[in-house]
Amino acid sequence: MRRVIAIGGTDPSGGAGLTRDAAMAARMGCEVKPVVTAVTVQTDTGVDALNPVPPSVVRAQLQAALAVPMPAAIKIGMVATEAQVAALAELLPQDLPLVFDPVLRASSGGTLSAAPALRPLIARSTLLTPNLPEAACLSDLPEAAYADALQAQARALLALGAGAVLIKGGHARGDHCVDHLFTPQGTEQFAAPRVAAGKRGTGCSLATAIACRLAAGTDLAAACRSAKAELTRWLRL
């Protein structure tokens, strides 16, 4: 079985973080090697506490996760402190695809990560997967409502070193949710009918699904397309 490292926080409600990573990976035929960055206290209605793991422990976890059986890809979600970013950036291998879902706020409310501190991980990412508010915050540009604004944000994020950027359309309006993939070679869109009943953990799930497809050797655009289809099936459950 292919293995994927998932780096992120715990969620006792089971709605997001490493729990969702493991569940989606199982759907995609992969096994997760988890690296815990924070123990959160949260529910579907809010974040009550965030307890960062010491960076030395994060480093040790990542070293253990990189040991045999070897992982084939890495997914990063919430990183709680700048010291954790430094620890991860120091050890992340260059030869594995890395999907970075920059979790700045929990969907139930509450700030989880500071945007400027995440730049070393953006520079290392094969694919950065921000939603619309995250793309605006990370690019230091107004939230996009039109295609040209999305292009400007993507150019700014690619300039920070991201290999590619997938700006997700879950926060937009309309009957379809459209994600936009930006690479140095061009753009591509992935659309699916918007599901009325929302769930927490959609960002975690999509990024993990993409990482699992990349672990199998799928090219980036096909990995994004396949992952979005799987996310849509999960949302309809």
- pLDDT of 194 reads 87
- pLDDT of 101 reads 97
| Mean pLDDT, rounded, of the chain | 92
- pLDDT of 171 reads 66
Q: Are 194 and 176 in contact (CB under 8 A)?
A: yes
What domains appear along the chain, each with residue ranges and CATH number?
2-235 (3.40.1190.20)
Within a 13 Å sphere around the CA of 184, how many CA atoms are in the beta-carbon half?
Answer: 7
Q: Which one has a higher pLDDT value, 193 or 131?
A: 131
193: confidence class by pLDDT, cuts 50, 70, 90: confident
Residue pLDDT, tens place only, 137-173: 999 999 887 789 999 999 999 999 999 999 998 767 7
- pLDDT of 47 reads 87
114: confidence class by pLDDT, cuts 50, 70, 90: low
144 secondary structure, DSSP code: P
- pLDDT of 175 reads 78
Write out the H or E segment, with its range, that includes residue 32: strand 30-43
115: confidence class by pLDDT, cuts 50, 70, 90: confident
pLDDT exceeding 70 applies to what percent of the chain? Answer: 95
- pLDDT of 107 reads 60
- pLDDT of 170 reads 72
Which of 138, 194, 141, 142 lies closest to 169, judged by CA?
Answer: 194
